[in-house]
């Protein structure tokens, strides 16, 4: 297949997937007609009628979500966004990633309880009728992307015609990963604690305007010259970076092979998504990382290199702000963080170890143990203000079962006792804050099998409701285990 036929190939692949599911998608090359097939979802009137009689509270809650909705992290990542996306995906036509790369690990389980660890592929992939889009704001490590797809296919997940990659997305090369490691070593004791997946260096190439994009794979005659600039830049910057013309030639030949395989996945996803909005299709945006790792709003410099907050949806997908509706913030019932950086409510010693062990707090992407602490209300409220969340998904409430008491970090005081009005941007200030805790009674019973809010212990209900009171945002979803069904709709 010629690389010049990329949009037609993507449109055909998406249409083929739609034909099998009852949904329609169009990657919309200029000359290709839009494909409009019957949709599987019941009409809106039927959904409203069902909601009116309260036939299925869970379905009613999901059906009420806006045409373009989003699931974003409200802490330092690892909150369980992938599970909620997986649960909501059957009610949406498209699930789209707007930023980040393979540093974002989303763990989900299928209907048989089989575990899948996704990194770049959106978490809607387990649902046959859902189109998955990797937007222009993401960075693509092509070898890793295909390894992920091969792993899904080998486990019975059909990816054919179901994934589109933006032609505007930037390419992440092995050299970016090498630079990531060299940069961390150079920082020594001040290291950021990255996943060393090359995310930061790739975004750096993007911002300094010498990066390569997916669309550059259409022009292999100039691809080598552009890649040569990246190699030379890394070699001049880092003494330990090895570079030779033979390495460049080998990499170019490698990407020629990748280019042919990537053709069916490439599309003008900005056009695809906006045409889908016009056709009244429903889009669910899946954020990677979380607001406290946002390049602008997070604990800089201990942050990621993209915008995991609400603004990243617009810049990372090309969707206008007026089109975005409900945004769901995902937050753990406690707080975790991976890598370096301030963490005001962090627990050390046995308390931290207990949460880590009970919550199985080890990174999906790296396996690194996560730092654990009590739920930080100051940080959560800050994230809610930035993103304008319409509701929250409180995850891992079951992990707190058996504790004699639970705590909420409700305010920050400076060393002189003065209360801070918001989450500070200055790290020196943040590292000196004294957290004021509110102590609530714990609950002793196992809640992992509870599926109704009214069946939760009163102490657990009070914990949830106190969080709502403090942040001013309702909790609509409560996770009590890793499985799809371990979710309470409130």
Q: Where exactly are the structural domains of the chain?
A: 171-262, 331-489
> Above 70 in pLDDT, residue 37?
no
Binding residues for IMP: 78-81, 103-106, 195, 209, 289, 304, 368
Return the pLDDT at 182: 82
pLDDT digits 0-9 by tens, 169-209: 999 999 999 888 888 777 766 666 666 788 989 999 999 99
Q: Per-residue pLDDT for 19 more than 50?
A: no
Give the pLDDT score at 243.
Answer: 85
pLDDT tens readout for residues 410-446: 999 999 999 999 999 999 999 999 999 999 999 999 9
CB atoms closer than 10 angstroms to residue 455: 12
Of the ranges 57-66, 196-205, 280-289, the best mean pLDDT one:
280-289
Please give the share of the chain, as a percent, with pLDDT higher than 90: 70
Whole-number mean pLDDT of the chain?
A: 87
Q: What share of the chain is helix, strand, coil (3-state, %, to 5)?
A: 40, 20, 40
Q: Does the structure show a pLDDT above 50 at 22?
A: no
Greater model confidence, 56 or 177: 177
Q: Which one has a higher pLDDT value, 442 or 1?
A: 442
**Rounded Cα gap, residues 408 and 472, in angstroms:** 15
Q: Is the pLDDT of residue 342 over 50?
A: yes
Among 61-65, 177-181, 228-232, 458-462, name the most confident range.
458-462
pLDDT of residue 442: 97
Q: Is the pLDDT of residue 369 over 70?
A: yes
Per CATH, which fold does 331-489 belong to? Answer: Adenylosuccinate Synthetase; Chain A, domain 3 (3.90.170)
User: Lowest-pLDDT range, 65-79, 231-245, 279-293, 458-472?
Assistant: 231-245
pLDDT digits (tens, 9 = 90+) for 100-155: 998 767 788 888 888 888 999 999 999 999 999 999 999 999 999 999 999 999 99
Confidence of residue 162 (pLDDT cuts 50, 70, 90): very high
- Do residues 77 and 289 lie in contact, with contact meaning Cβ atoms separated by under 8 Å? yes
Helices (H), 300-373: 311-317, 349-358
DSSP 369: B
Given a cut of 80, whether residue 310 has pLDDT beyond it is yes
- Whether the pLDDT of residue 38 is over 50: the answer is no
Distance CA 410, CA 377 (A): 5
* pLDDT reading at 50 higher than 50: no
How confident is the model at residue 470, as a pLDDT?
A: 98
What SS3 class is residue 105? coil
C-alpha dist (Å) from residue 94 to 133, 367, 404: 7, 30, 43
Known binding residues are 77-83, 103-107, 195, 209, 289, 304, 364-370, 396-398, 479-481
> What is the set of active-site residues?
78, 106, 206
- The token pair that represents 325 in the structure block: 């509706």
Question: Which range (12-26, 237-251, 274-288, 372-386) has the least confidence?
Answer: 12-26
Q: Which residue, among 399, 384, 410, 404, has the nearest Cα to 466 in the 3D structure? A: 410
- Residues of each annotated binding site for GTP: 77-83, 105-107, 370, 396-398, 479-481
Among 101-105, 248-252, 263-267, whose mean pLDDT is lowest?
Answer: 101-105
| Binding-site positions for Mg(2+) | 78, 105
The CATH number of 171-262 is 1.10.300.10
Cα torsion 339, 343, 349, 353: sign:
negative
């Amino acid at each position: 297949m010629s690389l010049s036929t990329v949009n037609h190939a993507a449109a055909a692949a998406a249409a083929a997937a739609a034909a099998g599911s009852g949904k329609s998608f169009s990657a919309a090359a200029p000359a290709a007609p839009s494909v409009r097939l019957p949709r599987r979802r019941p009409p809106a009137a039927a959904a409203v009628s069902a909601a009116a009689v309260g036939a299925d509270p869970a379905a009613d809650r999901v059906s009420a979500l806006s045409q373009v909705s989003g699931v974003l992290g409200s802490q330092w990542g690892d909150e369980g966004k992938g599970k909620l996306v997986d649960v909501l995906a059957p009610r949406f036509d498209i699930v789209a990633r707007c930023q980040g790369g393979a540093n974002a690990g989303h763990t989900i389980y299928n209907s048989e309880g089989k575990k899948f660890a996704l990194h770049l592929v959106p978490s809607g992939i387990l649902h046959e009728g859902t189109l998955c889009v990797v937007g222009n704001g993401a960075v693509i490590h092509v070898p890793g992307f295909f390894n992920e797809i091969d792993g899904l296919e080998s486990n019975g997940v059909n990816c054919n015609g179901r994934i589109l990659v933006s032609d505007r997305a930037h390419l992440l090369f092995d050299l970016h990963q090498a630079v990531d490691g060299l940069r961390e070593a150079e920082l020594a004791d001040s290291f950021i604690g990255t996943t060393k997946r090359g995310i930061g260096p790739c975004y750096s190439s993007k911002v300094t305007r010498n990066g390569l994009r997916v669309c550059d794979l259409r022009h292999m005659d100039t691809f080598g010259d552009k890649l040569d600039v990246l190699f030379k830049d890394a070699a001049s910057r880092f003494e330990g970076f090895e570079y030779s013309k033979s390495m460049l030639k080998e990499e170019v030949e490698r990407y020629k092979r990748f280019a042919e395989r990537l053709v069916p996945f490439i599309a003008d996803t900005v056009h695809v998504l906006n045409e889908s909005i016009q056709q009244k299709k429903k889009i669910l945006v899946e954020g990677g990382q979380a607001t406290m790792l946002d390049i602008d709003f997070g604990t800089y410099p201990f942050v990621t290199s993209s915008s995991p907050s609400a603004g990243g949806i617009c810049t990372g997908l090309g969707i206008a702000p007026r089109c975005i509706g409900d945004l769901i913030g995902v937050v753990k019932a406690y707080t975790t963080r991976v890598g370096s950086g301030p963490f005001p409510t962090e627990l050390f010693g046995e308390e931290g170890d207990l949460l880590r062990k009970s919550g199985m707090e080890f990174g999906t992407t790296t396996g690194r143990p996560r730092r654990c602490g009590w739920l930080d209300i100051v940080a959560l409220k800050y994230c809610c203000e930035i993103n304008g969340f319409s509701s929250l998904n409180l995850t891992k409430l079951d992990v707190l079962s058996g504790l004699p008491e639970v705590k909420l970090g409700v305010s920050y005081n400076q060393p002189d006792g003065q209360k801070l009005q918001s989450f500070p941007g200055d790290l020196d200030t943040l590292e000196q804050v004294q957290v004021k805790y509110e102590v609530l009674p714990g609950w002793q019973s196992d809640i992992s099998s509870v599926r109704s809010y009214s069946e939760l212990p009163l102490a657990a209900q009070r914990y949830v409701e106190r969080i709502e009171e403090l942040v001013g945002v309702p909790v609509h979803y409560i996770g009590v285990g890793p499985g799809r069904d371990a979710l309470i709709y409130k």
